[in-house]
Structure 1
């Protein structure tokens, strides 16, 4: 239908063209479950990228897509900006050499790159490089689902969910581009002798006189000898929570609110937090529990990351652990002493950071422990007597040591409350931290560095209800943590 054009909304866009679509007017009843209009353009759609991320999905997502669909979307950025595209979900039917269903990314100055489902996998796989940044102002995404004898939905394949946004071009702007394959342009943490770091998830250290060109390569203004390396950016979620005063109960976390959150399943469910791109910070008692019935029973250490739903985490797959390092002060056989309740898990491989997978920062000063300072703890622990499958979080203030000691005495408790711990909450305030949250971290916003910092690790408490919770004081262990991560752990490795 020449001369006609279907409007595509700026947020929550779906690209679609059907070989059976003959006209656009009168077809405005195509409304997705997410309130997204399905358009049927004859010459593709054009979207204007803005600074805030906007959603782009395949037709009907998250429902399985229909065969015989195809569509092209051009994403354009304003003058002085480039387009960043990040895949969050990617499930296409497997095909040999991508001859069947596929997604193609192309832009001026880069070779087109086609992605499809992975052979031998029922759900396919996302692109090895989940983030693409155009070298110019525009980037094109083409989705193709080949026709079959019956125009029916695939059983498990829901195609893709992506986010696009406009990113300013400046001297420190990092860009990455799709090469001929599905692997990332550079491996995070390596020395990128050619390609730049992927901001905002990584930064170049040291930057020196090097700048990033529009082609995504380093250029040295003074021919300096030092090449920077890409290091993870910590404590800066793409989708941060709105910081409010403490509220009753817990809230459901959205994707990207706590991108460092880990889910563990060793002697039961627990939590942890991503440090850098290869380490998980957690509580020692999740690995070596105080309960004597577990003594001598070794369990596999499974770690899951990258989502707020346990079922989705399981689909993404576990991250194999290379090494477990428990602090030497931890005493498993002393049931009332949680001193040294801290451990590190080294992953076998570096993780690829993105909007839903980012590390948290370590504390560097005592002001982050001032009484009354509001912090947040997230986890998959028990809620109202049931284990939740959705990530929840609660806000609690740091309590005074004097109040916590008095509260313990009132209850004639014998647990050790050492200087390596601090407490959170209010004796009149109902808390929601419970079984299954152990190992997760308590984070506070550092106004000075403008980032989220993990000041505590969920360690122990007295029941699930009113009162205080007790946390491992991470600041006291920062030197040990850095020593382990730098490979200077000596006799502490296990």
Structure 2
């Protein structure tokens, strides 16, 4: 048991020694096992501070929470000394690693040092063993244990496999790693990585790289990039330096970090190291790029440029008299070409010879063919020009783009818009007037131009007869009831008749007949002689403001729409003109006092009761009366038909002579009062009412047409007959 200053032990004879050996028990006299789990505490030898027994074996397993270590501080130590501490000893170990085996007295070479001992983990085993005899009394030991927090952030920073990638925060019993913005913490709770899985790119060209390239890529990456286009494309991949993916010095299968590329059933990789990989030509229209990194390393990563490739289509050129867009040296899958023709030409499909409206787009297909055959350009052909109603157009031998033809209207008609009659075949395939843009020339009756202008003046009451063609707009309005007087009217255009509302107020359209071109009336049966046109009526439109019971003859104006075909113009049938509104809202011709106007009709030729109707169309010239005189002379007179006194409104005017003798009369109602301006005749009024006929101091009263121009045009447009256009 080593050198001792105590007397030598008694030597027994062999027999007695054998006997004593047989009498020694096989197990230690003291055997103890302890498990301690606490933040602090103490451990003592058996019987401490009294001498510990022989043949003792005591063990303590001390554990503190994870994230802590165990600090041991011996406060008393007195154990038998021996060489190598083989007799009595205290052993401190962690997971089969002996941290120390101690014996002797305090401050001895084999005793624990005065400084505390800190274990590397949170569990430590302490074992105390004494042999079968001690010549002296030894008191044993006492040791205090305390849980000590670990600063993992500082300790692990020096160990790459344990350190936090970005940020580390220590707390009692543990630590926490966190990542910078844009990164996520990996499953190992210390590595910072980025989300780069299932990223799909559909552009035909671009670049791919490891995250943060060319800075070191994050750890614990599981990246998957997919390049995807339509079937018919393939990809060319070209790596660009630097290329730096962590590798193994001895193993060439890239066990740490790796880049793998797959496409069309073929795989490239795994790739790692610093040698730039060769360019890759894929066989498919989809490429999968997989990049993985482990939890260590500081490598720059990789970068590649990808470009889509496809089968080229045959070269196309612009057709004659046409163009294509875009113009390229080559065309490949998905490229599009738009064909168009010069102005005056049309695209023609080669497949069926049909025209294409404006442009034709063709696409290069995945098999290298175009989606359609390239078209050709053909000059626009307008064909033979249509013959306008009441007009004519020439029949040119050439009818293609920019060809010309002359058009015109028959006698008594003219174009509806101002033009010289030259029509040109335009780019849309229509004959048009270059100034107005009108596609089909339209002819309408010439208004206010009688074939025979009156040469002398006469009277309606006691007047002289008109000659054929003097007043071709004059019409006779008759009714099925056979009323002798009937009424007059004026032809407007080739469909409408202007008359007075009081003439038609008691009759429906189907009871009304209009006669044009008549000069003579014979017998009381109203038989007509001359070149006449008879028309039925399908619509009568009286002014909505006409109400004789409340307003007298105010708004005494109406329109009659002729049924059947439009009126055919002759020498004896032509329309009158309505006044027009010119700049500043002024009406032309403007009605002024003393203007000479003309009234025509078949009314009574005398103002006496029972006077006969005129056999022949009569006319008379009448001066326009100043409005003040008109109102003075004609207002306040009793009108038996209306059972009220007469009123002259702003919608009326007077014409006649103060001495009488010339006037319109019963039977002339509804007929026009007209004026001539520069050889053009206009209706300025409608025969409406009067106090007798041609009496001194009294005048005939007329509805003023210029007050109703808007209403007249609106009603004729709203109720136009479509077949006339």
In the other structure, the counterpart of 2:557 is 342
In the other structure, the counterpart of 1:305 is 516
Give the superposition deviation at 1:186.
Answer: 5.5
Answering whether residue 711 of structure 2 is matched by residue 480 of structure 1, we say yes
SS in 1 for 2:656: strand
In the other structure, the counterpart of 1:227 is 440
State the TM-score, normalized to the length of structure 2. Answer: 0.37
Distance in 2 between the 1:247 and 1:438 partners?
Answer: 12
Aligned residues: 291
Sort the Cα spacing of 1:256 and 1:227 in 2 relative to 1 into closer, same or farther, 3 A: same
Sort the Cα spacing of 1:452 and 1:225 in 2 relative to 1 into closer, same or farther, 3 A: closer
In the other structure, the counterpart of 1:270 is 487
Give the superposition deviation at 1:314.
Answer: 8.1
Give the superposition deviation at 1:250.
Answer: 1.4
Task: Give unpaired runs (5+ residues) of structure 2.
Answer: 1-386, 396-405, 424-429, 522-526, 581-586, 640-644, 721-725
In the other structure, the counterpart of 1:468 is 699
Distance in 1 between the 2:459 and 2:528 partners?
Answer: 29
CA RMSD of aligned residues (A): 3.4
Sort the Cα spacing of 1:276 and 1:197 in 2 relative to 1 into closer, same or farther, 3 A: farther
**1:206-254, Cα deviation, whole Å (9 max, x unpaired):** 3545339xxxxx9979797733210111001010112659898412010
Sort the Cα spacing of 1:314 and 1:418 in 2 relative to 1 into closer, same or farther, 3 A: same
In the other structure, the counterpart of 2:140 is none
SS in 1 for 2:688: strand
In the other structure, the counterpart of 1:408 is 634
In the other structure, the counterpart of 2:685 is 456
Correspondence 1:3-82 to 2 at 5 A:
none
Distance in 2 between the 1:461 and 1:298 partners?
Answer: 27
Give the superposition deviation at 1:379.
Answer: 0.3
Sort the Cα spacing of 1:321 and 1:410 in 2 relative to 1 into closer, same or farther, 3 A: closer
Alignment counterpart, residue 574 of structure 2, candidates 346, 351, 358:
358
**1:148-197, Cα deviation, whole Å (9 max, x unpaired):** xxxxxxxxxxxxxxxxxxxxxxxxxxxxxxxxxxxxx8534x89797954
In the other structure, the counterpart of 1:205 is 416
State the TM-score, normalized to the length of structure 1. Answer: 0.53
Give the superposition deviation at 1:276.
Answer: 0.3
Sort the Cα spacing of 1:377 and 1:222 in 2 relative to 1 into closer, same or farther, 3 A: closer
Give the superposition deviation at 1:420.
Answer: 0.6
Correspondence 1:149-228 to 2 at 5 A:
187-188=389-390, 196-208=407-419, 210-211=421-422, 226-228=439-441
Sort the Cα spacing of 1:331 and 1:234 in 2 relative to 1 into closer, same or farther, 3 A: same
More displaced stretch, 245-254 vs 235-244: 245-254
Give the superposition deviation at 1:307.
Answer: 2.3
The answer to whether the 8 A contact 1:441-1:457 is kept is yes
The answer to whether the 8 A contact 1:246-1:396 is kept is no
Answering whether residue 588 of structure 2 is matched by residue 372 of structure 1, we say no
Sort the Cα spacing of 1:412 and 1:402 in 2 relative to 1 into closer, same or farther, 3 A: farther
Answering whether residue 644 of structure 2 is matched by residue 393 of structure 1, we say no
Q: Which protein is bigger by CA-based radius of gyration?
A: 2
In the other structure, the counterpart of 2:535 is 319
SS in 1 for 2:699: strand
SS in 1 for 2:619: strand
Distance in 1 between the 2:460 and 2:719 partners?
Answer: 42
User: Could you say which structure has the greater relative contact order, defined with CA pairs below 8 angstroms and 6 or more residues apart?
Assistant: 1
More displaced stretch, 250-259 vs 357-366: 357-366
The answer to whether the 8 A contact 2:488-2:601 is kept is yes
The answer to whether the 8 A contact 1:421-1:470 is kept is yes
Distance in 1 between the 2:462 and 2:655 partners?
Answer: 15
In the other structure, the counterpart of 2:467 is 254
Sort the Cα spacing of 1:260 and 1:197 in 2 relative to 1 into closer, same or farther, 3 A: farther
Sort the Cα spacing of 1:284 and 1:409 in 2 relative to 1 into closer, same or farther, 3 A: closer
Sort the Cα spacing of 1:209 and 1:457 in 2 relative to 1 into closer, same or farther, 3 A: closer
Give the superposition deviation at 1:440.
Answer: 0.3
The answer to whether the 8 A contact 1:279-1:344 is kept is yes
The answer to whether the 8 A contact 1:263-1:272 is kept is yes
Distance in 2 between the 1:221 and 1:418 partners?
Answer: 46
In the other structure, the counterpart of 1:441 is 672
Of Structure 1 and Structure 2, the greater strand share is in: 2
Task: Give unpaired runs (5+ residues) of structure 1.
Answer: 1-184, 213-217, 290-295, 490-494
Distance in 2 between the 1:371 and 1:433 partners?
Answer: 18
Sort the Cα spacing of 1:344 and 1:411 in 2 relative to 1 into closer, same or farther, 3 A: closer
Distance in 2 between the 1:299 and 1:248 partners?
Answer: 32
Distance in 2 between the 1:196 and 1:383 partners?
Answer: 47
Answering whether residue 557 of structure 2 is matched by residue 328 of structure 1, we say no
Sort the Cα spacing of 1:225 and 1:319 in 2 relative to 1 into closer, same or farther, 3 A: closer
Distance in 2 between the 1:192 and 1:457 partners?
Answer: 39
Give the superposition deviation at 1:427.
Answer: 2.3
